Structures are given as C-alpha cells and as structure tokens.
Amino acid sequence: MKTMTRFILIAVTALALNAPAADSTPARPNILFVMSDDHAYHAISAYNGRLNQTPHLDRLAREGMRFDRCFVVNSICTPSRATILTGKYSHLNGCPAFNRFDGAQPTVAKRLQAAGYHTGMIGKWHLGSDPTGFHQWIILPGQGVYNDPAFLTPEGRKVIKGYATDVITDLGIDFLEKRPKDKPFFLMLHHKAPHREWTPDPKNREKFAKLTIPEPPTLWDDYATRTDALRENQQTVARDLTRRDLKLTPPPDITPGTNRQKWLQTKPTEVEIETDGVKKKLTGTELVKWKYQRYMQDYLGCIQSIDDNMGRLFACLERAGLMDNTVIFYTADNGFFLGDHGLYDKRFMYEESLRIPLLARWPGQIKAGSVSDAMVLNLDFPETFLELAGLQAPAEMQGRSFAPLLRGTRPADWRTSFYYRYYHDPGDHNTRAHLGVRTETHKLIHYWKKDQWELFDLRKDPAELVNLYNDLAQTATVAQLKKELARLKDEVRDHDEYANELPPPGVDGQPPGRAGARKQRQAPPPPKLTE
C-alpha cells in the first residue's frame, strides 16, 4: 500500500512539474504588424469617435491595449519605415528623407528570419531598394496606385486588378493560409491608404459623400505667436489642395496630356458646384469649408475600407485558429493633420503629425480594454518584436522594448522625453527642417536654419496655439528643455554640424528668444478669410 501511494505521489508531482503555469508566456508567438500610410490617430473611433466609426480596429482596443502616447521620431514615410526596420534614428539608418534604404544592414526581419520565423512583407514599402530578410515579399512600386495596382516581386512586376486595400488584404490572407504550419510567422502588412490622393472604393465614396464631417477647433488657426516656418508652409486646406485632390472634373475642352495635368495640379481659389440643379460659385470661407469636407470625405472613405478589411483579416485568423497566439499590432507610419491648424499632411512636430495610433491584441498576455499613457516610439517596435520572439535586441538599436507595457507593467525608469528631427528642407510643402524635444508636459521646437523656436505647455495648451518661447516667465523652462534637448541629441549619437549650435538660454544676458524676436515677426500671417 505504501509503495502504491508513493508511486501515485511521484506521478502527480511529475505531472504538476510538466504542466504549463496558468500565466506562462506562450513560446514564439506569431507577430502580425499592420501599418497604414498617413492614418491619423483621431480617425479611429477607439480614440475619440468624433469623425468616424471603425468597429474592427476598435476590436483591437476592446480586446487588447490602446496606446495614447505613441510617437514617431521623424514624421515622414521613408524615414519612419527605415526606423521600424532597424530600430535606429534617421541619421544612423541612412534615411533622413527619401533616401534609398541600404538593405544590406541588419533589420528586425533578418533577425526573426534567422531565428526560425517565416517572414513576409506585403504592400507599401517605399524604401527604394528590394526588401531583404523576408521569405516572401510583394510590394507597391513607390507610392503605388489605388486601383488595379502594380506590384514588384522577386520574379518581376505584375498588375493585380482591384482596389489596393482589398488586394493587399487578399495577399495577406494568402500568406497566412499558405504559410509553413511548423513555424511562427512575422508578417508586415502595409496599406497604401489613406495616402494622398485619398481615393476611396466606390462603396465608401458614396457613404461618406452624404456625410458632413465636424470641423476641428483649430481649422481657422491664424498662427499668431508661431514661427515663420508655420506661416510659410504649403500644406493648408485653404490654399494648397489641388483640383486633383478635390476630385474636380476637367472641362471638356481641356485635352489629355500636359494641359490636363496642369489643370488638375492647379490650386483653385474658386469652385463652381451644383446642388439640386442649382449652380453656385464658392469663394473665401465658404470655399475653405467645402474643401475641408471634400478632403475629409475621401480620407475617411479610404480608412473605412481599411477597417472593412481588418474584419476580413480577423476572420482569416479565426478560421486558421491563429487569434490566440498571434500578437496583432495596428499603427501608421506617421501622424496626419485632418484640418488641424488648417493643415493636411504631416512633417511638423505638432501633436497631430507627431503622434500615431497604436493598438495591440494578444489574449492572455494583454489585458482586454487596457490603455497605456507611457511614451512609446516607432523606434521601439523592432526591439518589442524581438523580445516577444524570445530574442535579445542588439546594442546598436536605439529604442526600448515595450513588451512589459503590453503585459501591464511600466518600468520605473521608462522614458519621460524623446528627441525628434525632420530634415527635408524645404522639400515638399515647403516644410522647414526642425528638431526638438517632447516631455510629458512641454515641447520645444527649433527651426535651426531659421534660428527660430517654439515652446508649448502641453498641460495648459494641448492644441499648441500659444508659443511661449519669448515669455520672460519661461526662462528657466527654456533653459531646462534646451539642456534636455542637447542631452538627448548626444544620447542618440546625432553628432552633425548642428551639435554645437544650441544657443545658451540667454544671449548677452537677454532672456531666451529676445535676440531672435524680430526674425519671428518678419513673415506676415496668412490672409484672413472673411464670410
């Protein structure tokens, strides 16, 4: 009897030791990284629901985590994608602007591939070179087109009939269905939408054409107190949307070719519309309001197609039994202005351009419905992927894995500030080069080629309407932020010609900015529109 009892105890103990703990981390999860182009965080209803409804994207937030403070370190397409692949700032990954990406350098895809992951890259690439580190890839050439897009593959170029968002999702589903079943996968699924020229599919074009989109509170921002850089920009809803952007039809006497293209690229100062058989000419404020509606109806229509296709993607994962051990991320390559400050596009260090959506779902590891306000960067994505795969991030990566945040733990030493730099000057839209620091409470921006500064108190002025840089009461704050900017610049090894150009808090005993105050007033504000 004693022998039998001892045998039972040994057997039970062995089973207990070999059984997985209830809270154990699944080994080598699949990683699905879905990224759209120019998708503003405030065009996802999980963030505010003011502009549109995105039920499938909201599912990621409802069943996972929503990050409320995820930012990019250079708000433009190619640099952001290079940063996500390498975990390095633009000055180290070779893509400060629209440079050709050197595919020979180490990337997160190569490291996951070497570790046994089946890797795929599908959709918008926009890095000038062929993808490396992927078992399968099929990419849009350059920006690609919305309808009947061409794709580049290792075997050559091919055109696939259909709407780009649907086609890219089809290709993603095909990858999932045909993947090796004995390996975890890492898939980068990148949509073209909602990039300019904002062409929705027919269903969503019709849906949003019937809607009136709420105007942002800062649509009529007059840029008072801000720098010349903002005044000189050419990405305003009021002045810079073209006839092509607005989907205006050329008159019948405009012949195809150069004349037609010139007509479409013109920025109209008046537009004639017809409503219920009545023609009306729009100018001034009325025209700006109409332009905003046309822009947003098309932009949101593109996003609705993304949301529709996220539903298709989830259905595929569910059919394959992959929803439980796949970490799903949804994000954008940069932020985007939706009429905020009267702008469209990105590039500037203001919040709408700097901040991106980030939603993540991983059952059993991410608490459903959780929200993180920790400061996360696109620089952090590759280190996070590596940690989820059980791999060590290399020392040359400059971000930090936010895997602990996914599991509900915020390290005590988590960052409270970060460094930003935009290089393309004057570049598209006449956006001026600038760099800066964002902390949890303030933002300091330096347009170094113009020697002009902006300071915002994000607690009192979250819309960033009042530049405090020349305020005498902010002398100590400016000094502290300049010190932090210099520290971060050194920490990320950005040692270029600008390294020693940071001026001291005051010049010849004057308060900060006083010496440059005249410069910041030279450019006139944009013309005031009247009813």
Q: What is the pLDDT of residues 506-523, one digit of tens each?
A: 333 333 332 233 333 333
Res. 531: pLDDT tops 50: no
H helix intervals, 194-349 = 202-209, 228-232, 258-265, 284-319
Q: What is the pLDDT of residues 284-335, one digit of tens each?
A: 999 999 999 999 999 999 999 999 999 999 999 999 999 999 999 999 999 9
pLDDT the model gives residue 507:
30
Instruction: Look at the block and give the residue holding tokens 């905020």.
Output: 340
373 in the same domain as 311? yes
Q: Burial letters for 408-442: b for 16+ Cβ neighbours within 10 Å, e otherwise?
A: eeeeeeebebbbbbbbbbeeebebbbbbbbbbeeb
* Confidence at 255, pLDDT banded by 50, 70, 90: confident
**What is d(CA 322, CA 312) in angstroms, rounded to the nearest whole number?**
14
What is the spatial distance between Cα 99 and Cα 104, in angstroms, rounded to a whole number?
14
Residue, of 2 and 184, whose pLDDT is higher: 184
268 occurs within a structural domain: no
Pairing mode of beta strands 118-124, 185-190:
parallel
Rounded to an integer, the average pLDDT of 19-33 is: 64
Last residue of a domain, one of 408, 439, 456: 408
Residues 357, 427: one domain? no
Entry pTM: 0.89
The verdict on residue 442 lying in a domain is yes
Same domain assignment for residues 404 and 441: no
Same-domain check for residues 82 and 157: yes
Give the per-residue pLDDT at 497: 58
| Res 75 pLDDT > 90 | yes
* pLDDT(265) > 50: yes
| pLDDT level of residue 427 (50, 70, 90 thresholds) | confident
Q: For residue 123, what are the contacts with CB-CB under 8 A and spacing of at least 6?
A: 139, 140, 168, 171, 172, 188, 189, 190, 191, 192
Is the same domain home to 45 and 68?
yes
- Residue 4 domain-assigned? no
- pLDDT computed for residue 146 by the predictor: 98
The answer to whether residues 140 and 64 belong to one domain is yes
Whether residue 168 is found in the same domain as residue 86: yes
Q: What is the pLDDT of residue 48?
A: 87
Say what the alpha-carbon torsion angle 438, 54, 177, 86 is, to the nearest 10 degrees: -10
Total number of domains in the chain: 2
Whether the per-residue pLDDT at 504 is higher than 70: the answer is no
**pLDDT digit string, tens, across residues 129-155:** 999 999 999 999 999 999 999 999 999
Q: How far is CA 88 from CA 53, 106, 191, 493, in A?
A: 34, 11, 23, 10
SS3 assignment, position 444: strand
Asked whether 415 and 217 are in contact (CB, 8 A), the reply is no
211 in a structural domain? no
Residue 333: inside a domain, yes or no?
A: yes
**Token pair of 249 as six digits:** 């039809």
d(CA 176, CA 178): 6
The answer to whether position 6 is within a domain reads: no
Q: Which of 408, 434, 468 is the last residue of a domain?
A: 408
pLDDT greater than 90 at residue 70: yes
pLDDT at residue 502 is higher than 80: no
Question: What's the pLDDT score for residue 27?
Answer: 75
User: 127 and 74 share a domain?
Assistant: yes
Give me the chain's average pLDDT, please: 90
What is the rounded distance in angstroms from the CA atom of residue 482 to the CA atom of residue 57? 39
Place of tokens 């939706």: 338
Quick: pLDDT tens for 334-368.
999 999 999 999 999 999 999 999 999 999 999 99
Cβ-contact 156, 139 below 8 angstroms: no
Lowest mean pLDDT, pick from 179-183, 198-202, 303-307, 426-430:
426-430
**109 CB contacts (<8 Å, ≥6 apart)?**
85, 119, 121, 131, 132, 133, 134, 186, 188
- Residue 380 and residue 388: Cα distance in Å, rounded? 12
Share of the chain above pLDDT 70, in %: 89
- How far apart CA 531 and CA 522 sit, in angstroms, is 27
- 399 band by pLDDT with thresholds 50, 70 and 90: very high
pLDDT band at 49 (very low <50, low <70, confident <90, very high): confident
Residue 498 lies in a domain: yes
Sheet of 452-457, strand order: 417-422, 434-439, 442-447, 452-457
Spatial distance between the Cα atoms of 433 and 442, rounded to a whole number of angstroms: 20
Whether 116 and 187 share a structural domain: yes
CATH code, domain with 429: 3.30.1120.10
Q: Are 185 and 30 in contact (CB under 8 A)?
A: yes
pLDDT 10s digits, 206-223: 999 999 999 999 999 999
> For residue 499, what are the CA distances in angstroms to 269, 419, 485, 503?
43, 13, 11, 11
Buried b (16+ CB within 10 A) or exposed e, 136-151: bbbbbeeebebeebeb
Examine the pLDDT at 444 and tell me if it is beyond 80: yes
Strands (E), 208-294: 271-275, 278-282
Per-residue pLDDT of 457-481, as tens digits, reads: 999 999 999 999 999 999 999 999 9
Same domain, 342 and 443: no
Q: For residue 498, what pLDDT band results from cuts at 50, 70 and 90?
A: low
Same domain, 447 and 515: yes
Q: Name the strand (E) or helix (H) holding 417.
A: strand 417-422
* CATH number of the domain where residue 73 is located: 3.40.720.10
pLDDT digits (tens, 9 = 90+) for 116-135: 999 999 999 999 999 999 99
Position 130, amino acid: D
316: containing domain = 30-200+295-408
Does 222 map to a domain? no
Which of 373, 408, 443 is the last residue before a domain boundary? 408
- Dihedral (C-alpha) 212, 217, 219, 221: value to the nearest 10 degrees? 170
Q: Are residues 434 and 516 in the same domain?
A: yes
Read off the pLDDT band of 501 (50, 70, 90).
Answer: very low
Dihedral of the alpha carbons of 406, 412, 416, 422, in degrees to the nearest 10: -50
The CA distance from 105 to 40, in Å, is 30
pLDDT at 19 over 50: no
CA dist 345 to 49, 200, 341, 448, Å? 21, 17, 11, 22
Extract the tokens encoding 266.
């013109």
Tell whether the model's pLDDT for residue 449 goes beyond 50: yes
In sequence order, the 6+-apart residues with CB closer than 8 A to the CB of 29 are: 184, 325, 326, 327, 362, 388, 389
Q: Is 497 left (phi over 0), alpha (psi -120 to 50) or beta?
A: alpha
Dihedral Cα 251, 253, 256, 257, nearest 10 deg:
-100
Residue 56: pLDDT band with limits 50, 70, 90? very high
User: Which range among 9-23, 493-507, 510-524 has the greatest average pLDDT?
Assistant: 493-507
pLDDT of res. 305 = 98
Model confidence at 34, pLDDT cuts 50, 70, 90, reads very high
